[in-house]
Structure 1
Amino acid sequence: MQLLKSANYKTVPWKNGGGVTREVALHRDESLHPDFMWRVSIATVAEDGPFSAFPGIDRSIAVLAGNGMVLETDGHSTTLMKDGAPHVFDGASPVHARLIAGETVDLNLMSRRGFYRHQLIRLPVEGPVQLEAQSGLRFIVFNGRAQVSGNTYFFTAEPLDCLICPAEGAVLQIEPDGFFDIFLVFIHPAA
């Protein structure tokens, strides 16, 4: 069990200057593919513009902060808001983002098709929550401050911190400081 602090995430500016990405976690297996197999990241979108293409990648995105954005993908518009469900799309699709009213921060989950599959779940919390680690639950991303405890550990999670989840069956107690969302990141090997 480990808490990844947002202050320690690797930050990379976008090539087009439209934002920055903070890399939360990444898995590589160069024996299978030269690029990443899955990645969890947090992006700050500072202006309207295109997303980078990721052929062979399935993507999920959820808004963490800001007024949201409209994604134009394959001729369809999808509005992403802070309290909305994560949006799933093909990383190879051309995507253009239009900010609704200023900068937006979003959580991104990507997995390489044919090798891994993923699911991103938004879970609103306003009081104590008990979670049992399930198969494939790799990370919990916090969008607020919380105390996290279990049999042998205690952490204080700050906004955008990420908890590497314990083994399946372990029980987590989460005591939020106010009302906010946590995000459950599931990553499974492809069947």
Structure 2
Amino acid sequence: MTDTGPRVVPANEYRRVRWKNGLGWTREIIREPEADDWNWRVSIAEIEKDAAFSAFPGIERELVLLRGNGLRLRFADGEVRELHPPHDRLRFAGERALVGELLDGPTHDFNLMWRRDAVAAELQHRPLVGPMLFFTEPDTTWAIHLLAGQARFDAASALPPLEAGDTAILQGENERRRFLLEGGGELLAIKLTRL
């Protein structure tokens, strides 16, 4: 993992960029490292019309419906899956050809991508009720995306509070670290471990 230390990326600082295939837009939250050959990337895809998804050879993907009335994923091999509110999700290989079809209006979809030969990733959808602990190691990073509510880290972390839509990146800075998060709402917690 690139060791840039813990930080909060406010929702209004996400970078709006074109999809790789040019057929849509995504708001990129973070890529590690910053180079084009990143090991992992977190973004929010804005799907405004039916469109083919970009191909990402060697990449695993997990998509979570954030907003909208649903999305149908029609794979070229014949498999069809639907994501429904509130937060249906699907993990699939980035090489698979597919078209995203809107069920009833535009959607926003949380998009986690990771290079399968470099990183192991685990995405959890959790309510935030009371304190949650996250531990980082030199080879482990957490990305915490607040779906709803408000949250605050303990004073030792020196991080600003999280508002709905913000993302915290927790990295260990070459040592094991503990982060205590408290608040109310719900979140996506993504654990990324370097292989």
TM category, shorter: 0.7 to 0.9
Tell me: CA distance 1:150–1:55, structure 2 relative to 1, closer, same or farther (3 Å): same
Tell me: CA distance 1:23–1:75, structure 2 relative to 1, closer, same or farther (3 Å): same
Are 2:21 and 1:13 equivalent residues in the alignment?
A: no
Q: Percent identity?
A: 29
Structure 2 alignment gaps of length 5 or more? 1-5
Are 2:152 and 1:148 equivalent residues in the alignment?
A: yes
Tell me: CA distance 1:119–1:86, structure 2 relative to 1, closer, same or farther (3 Å): farther
Root-mean-square deviation (CA, aligned residues, Å) is: 2.2
* 1:10-159 superposed matches below 5 A: 10-14=15-19, 18-28=23-33, 35-73=37-75, 74-125=77-128, 128-135=129-136, 136-152=140-156, 153=158, 155-159=160-164
Tell me: CA distance 1:15–1:103, structure 2 relative to 1, closer, same or farther (3 Å): same
Report the counterpart of residue 172 of structure 1 in structure 2: 180
Report the counterpart of residue 182 of structure 1 in structure 2: 187
Structure 1 alignment gaps of length 5 or more? none
| Cα deviation digits, residues 33-76 of structure 1 (max 9, x gap) | x6211111111111111100001101111011111201112311
3-state SS, counterpart of residue 82 of structure 1: coil
How far, CA to CA, are the matches of 2:79 and 2:91 in structure 1? 13
Q: Taking structure 2 as the reference length, what is the TM-score of the superposition? A: 0.83
Cα pair 2:62 2:91 within 8 Å, conserved: yes
Aligned residues: 182
